[in-house]
Amino acid sequence: MKRNVWNEIKLFALAGVMSLTLLGCGGKGDAKEEPPVQEGQQEDLNTEDQEAPQGEEEKPEGQGESTDPDKQADSSGTQNEEEVTGEITELGDGQFTIKKFHEETAEDGSEILVSPAEGVEDDGGMEFESLTVLCNENTRIYKRTIRDGGASYEDSESSFDKLEKGMEVRFKGSREGDTYRASEVQIVDVIL
């Protein structure tokens, strides 16, 4: 009998702690802070909407477009280029396959990379995209050695022969069907 009473007391105490935790995380203070921010954003949007049509009417045709062919080429070239980070899983003749890392930017501006653990094949509910990357004689390959937690780094020239399975690489390139044509490959080496 004493044992059952003691177990019931533990159960009620646990339920009380969980209830307080849930109520503490969803307080009314959070709800009061959101509406003023949304109203301010709506006012800003309304003023921008009113100003935009006036600016469009005053602008003659073709003024917003660049007529310089060099600038057009630069903007179209950089628009198609992507920068991707991943880990090499396979190496072939002039090509390699990577598991793409998911990249996020934190509130403080730092970069967050999410990579799969070794030996895990999509078990964690997060799928990792595999990409095939093609290199040629015009592809610049270099090694970036990062020291002291990112405080300093050093770049040195490298080659396709130095690539190995398991290395972290960052590349710039353009998508061509199911593959990427790399214009630049950076081997990332972090020394703590």
CATH 2.120.10.30 for domain 83-191: no
**So what's the pLDDT on residue 80?**
67
**So what's the pLDDT on residue 181?**
93
**So what's the pLDDT on residue 142?**
94
pTM assigned to the model: 0.53
- Written as tens digits, the pLDDT of the chain (192 aa) is 677 788 888 877 877 777 767 666 555 554 444 444 444 444 444 444 444 444 444 444 444 444 443 334 343 444 467 888 889 999 999 999 998 887 888 888 887 777 766 666 555 555 678 889 999 999 999 999 999 877 899 999 999 999 999 899 999 999 888 889 999 999 999 887
- How far apart CA 155 and CA 153 sit, in angstroms, is 7
Q: Alpha carbon of 148 to those of 61, 128, 183, 192: distances in Å?
A: 53, 29, 29, 6
**Cβ–Cβ under 8 Å, residues 185 and 161:** no
Give residue limits of the domains in the chain. 83-191
**So what's the pLDDT on residue 109?**
83
46-55: long-range contacts at Cβ-Cβ below 8 A with a sequence spacing of 24 or more? none
